[in-house]
Structure 1
């Protein structure tokens, strides 16, 4: 039976140093079937599949607030970042504090959104406020600036890498919440609400707000998710 071996060759990062080398990924049979990955019992992939957008949120959590806060912290803490810079930050709001956030959003949008369209906007915001809490995701710009100063060759890349790290942190939290039976969605009312939010919760000026994630109990089932054809998205070469 034909056996194929795999390797990746290129530049790799070790601490603050880069080196060129090869990582051997091992070998497997070329007759590997399309459903083989299911035999791996990949818990991470199972969690990722559970992550769905939930707009019908409730205030009843299946776990204690302290445990949910720890879950969020751990998810962000173990998210990768360029040069291990750990630039992601978060403010976690529960109960009335979360309600306060969505009231800020509502009152910020009230003079901006046309009067005839505001009831729809208000209903959407009230849906987020119906949840048990909200995670505010930030990226620390002082960390980004420090990296730019210390590694000028990559100065233009660090803001991009920071955003990528922030996106991974958001996804990690979302998947972790889903795996814990907690619904969530991802919203972006920044930068309109930045100043008032920073003032209300004494957020450092070097923290840049990137997203808001309302979460709570799942009050409606998820519809079946539709996917485009894999052939349109992926190219695999053996």
Structure 2
């Protein structure tokens, strides 16, 4: 069995110690991200995934927005400082991809294919997983570390205003990426017997 794809999958890990020491240009990275999203499968080929790719000041602005928003949520100053340290790690990265679902397309397909209407929101989430995994793995193949965060929906309105996001786009995840300053730890797995059934 060929295992090149499996090897790439094993190389994709959550990297939290990220920096800005990359050889690739923002344009090269943006092109790689866009191509991965374009080729990721979607139900009915409805292409519901959208992305906003942030570099430089825009990238830093995002994580400042998250920090300001979480200040009202974290119960104590001590806890906030710990949160801020974590967020500054994301801010120190090279860039961030904001992954969105275009709900206008989801609703259009719900109306046009009523037999499957209850499934299109779920299928859009599957498309998100496909796109995020594809982008993340492709970045890792190029020596770029990344991790995925989910500060939505707390930040949705602020990010929408800051970056002029269309009304129909629903924020699903934030993937920050950069140079790998420290590797990931050991990955643990649950028991195969609890996870898989192979019937012959």
TM tier relative to shorter chain: over 0.9
**Higher helix proportion, which one?**
2
Q: How does 1:53-64 map to 2 (within 5 A)?
A: 53-64=14-25
Query: Which residue does the alignment assign to 2:51?
Result: 90
TM (normalized to structure 2)?
A: 0.96
| 1:145-188 per-position Cα deviation (integer Å, ceiling 9, x unaligned) | 00000011111111111111111111111111111101110100
Q: Quote the residue 1:46 is aligned against.
A: 7
Asked if residue 101 in structure 1 is aligned to residue 47 in structure 2, the reply is no
Would you say how many aligned residue pairs link Structure 1 and Structure 2? 199
Structure 2: 5+ residue runs without aligned partners? Answer: none
The equivalent residue for 1:19 is none
Structure 2 counterparts to residues 62-211 of structure 1, below 5 A: 62-114=23-75, 115-211=77-173
1:62–1:217 Cα contact (<8 Å) kept: no
Q: Look up the SS of the partner of 2:182 in the other structure.
A: coil
User: What residue is the counterpart of 1:18 in the other structure?
Assistant: none
What is the rounded CA distance, in whole Å, between the counterparts of 1:223 and 1:97 in structure 2?
30
Q: Deviations over 1:17-57 (max 9, x none)?
A: xxxxxxxxxxxxxxxxxxxx3xx1x3322211111001101
What is the CA–CA distance in structure 2 between the aligned matches of 1:233 and 1:112, rounded to whole Å? Answer: 36
Question: Is the Cα contact below 8 Å between 1:183 and 1:216 reproduced in 2?
Answer: yes
Deviation, structure 1 residue 230? 2.3
Report the Cα offset of residue 108 of structure 1.
0.7
Residue aligned with 1:224, SS: coil
Partners of 2:179 and 2:167 in 1: how far apart?
33
Counterparts of 1:152 and 1:201 in 2: how far apart (Å)?
34
Unaligned residue ranges in structure 1 (runs of 5+):
1-36
Whether the aligned pair in 2 keeps the contact of 1:62 and 1:181 (CA below 8 Å) is: no
Could you say which structure has the higher strand fraction?
1
Residue 69 of structure 1 aligns to a residue whose secondary structure is: helix
Change (3 A) 1:142 1:57: same
Residue aligned with 1:218, SS: strand
* Contact 1:79/1:165, CA 8 A, preserved across alignment: yes
Matches within 5 A, 1:5-24: none
Query: Which position in structure 1 is the counterpart of 2:195?
Result: 233
Query: Offset at 1:197?
Result: 0.8
Query: 2 CA distance for matches of 1:130 and 1:46?
Result: 28
Runs of 4+ in 1 over 6 A off after TM superposition: none
Cα distance in 1, alignment partners of residues 58 and 96 from structure 2 = 9
